[in-house]
């Protein structure tokens, strides 16, 4: 069973876009069996404990497929490289690819 987690904090609005795009990617792949676990990070201590590298952070079976290794742990919005430049969430196509 695929474990899909979406880490976020309320101070960053990009997690809702990522959530919608994850749902669309899962629908495209016919993976209606997969539930996205939404994990709210509320304090700097929580961020340290879970290795939160910004909102939104997506992990598939515990692995962040979009990590470059340069991300800092903390309560901040995260930026993703997409074909059109930088954005607050991966594209549906990028998510579909990493979920395939």
Nearest-10 Cα torsion for 54, 64, 50, 7? 50
Which pLDDT score, from 0 to 100, does residue 57 have?
A: 97
pLDDT at 1 over 90: no
Is CATH 3.40.30 the right assignment for the domain spanning 4-99?
Answer: yes
Tell me the pLDDT tens digit for each residue of 11-47: 899 999 999 999 999 999 999 899 999 999 999 999 9
Closest CA to 55 of 76, 72, 73, 37: 76
Report whether 43 contacts 12 (CB < 8 A).
Answer: no
Boundaries of every domain in the chain: 4-99
Q: What is the mean pLDDT of residues 54-77?
A: 95
Q: For the chain, give the mean pLDDT.
A: 96
- Residue 4 is encoded by which pair of tokens? 């899909």
């Amino acid at each position: 069973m695929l474990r899909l987690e979406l880490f976020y904090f309320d101070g960053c609005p990009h997690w809702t876009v990522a959530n919608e795009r994850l749902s669309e990617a899962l629908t495209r792949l016919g993976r209606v069996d997969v539930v996205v676990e939404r994990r709210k990070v509320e304090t700097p201590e929580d961020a340290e404990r879970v290795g939160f590298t910004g909102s939104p952070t997506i992990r598939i079976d515990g692995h962040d497929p979009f990590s470059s290794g340069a991300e800092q742990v903390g309560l901040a919005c995260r930026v993703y490289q997409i074909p059109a430049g930088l954005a607050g969430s991966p594209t549906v196509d990028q998510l579909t690819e990493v979920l395939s």
